[in-house]
Amino acid sequence: MNSFVPRHDRGVLRHTGSVYGTSVDGVPLTVYVPESNSAEILILAAIHGDEAETTVVMSEALRYLPVGDLKAAVILCGNPDGMLRGTRCNARGVDLNRNFPTSNWSPDPVHYKSRANDARDIALSPGAAPASEPETQALIALIDKLKPRAVVTLHSALACVDDAGASHLGRQLAGRCALPFLTEIGYPTPGSMGTWATERAAGRGLNLVTLELEDASLYALKDHHVPIMLDLMTGKFQLDAKSDH
């Protein structure tokens, strides 16, 4: 059982981050890595800057955790320029989650919806070319360096767990979060990180699990998901199903 940081010390993030790149506007991109400098799981929040609740949930979980207990690598915000603007896109108007070098990347505008039940009719750029953005380039380089077996990326607010690989980790996460488990989101996502991870997975075992938080108050999201993220960060989730043999 983990002992958490005392409540009166949870106001400040005491983990030391490492800069793995910079954003378009020159903001440092920071990752928190275990003391071993290795991690089987990378957790990524806020690749979309208008999904700030993902950062808040992960920050609170990380502030609960003593430095030596961290087993996963954590990025609190993959798109700081978008976060500062309150936009899904980065400073150049690019949807970073459509900017990955995939076989289905397209230069055509991509569209999203601002709420779960809205039409997908708000246009953004996928970038001038695959991996054109410094945030995308830095994230790919970080994954190449850390070589995690799984990436868990937090979004909102479609209230599901999406895992094209139907992994044991994804099924566990859906069960713990009490959210529907999907192997496909139901609409095209050219240039997405999930597609990139699936294409890279051949022979490498890389799996990407997307956790879409539910549409709820920030307090409710923290109450529900912080304990789950603590277990994810401390190695309590199994990456592989146990064999009966």
Task: Give the catalytic positions in this structure.
Answer: 212
Residue recorded with tokens 């500062």:
84
Rounded distance between C-alpha atoms, residue 179 and residue 23, angstroms:
32
Gyration radius of the chain's alpha carbons: 17
Which residues are bridge partners to 125 per DSSP?
94
Residues 6+ apart with CB under 8 A from 41: 71, 72, 73, 148, 149, 150, 151, 152, 169, 232, 237, 239
**Two tokens, residue 238:** 């199994």
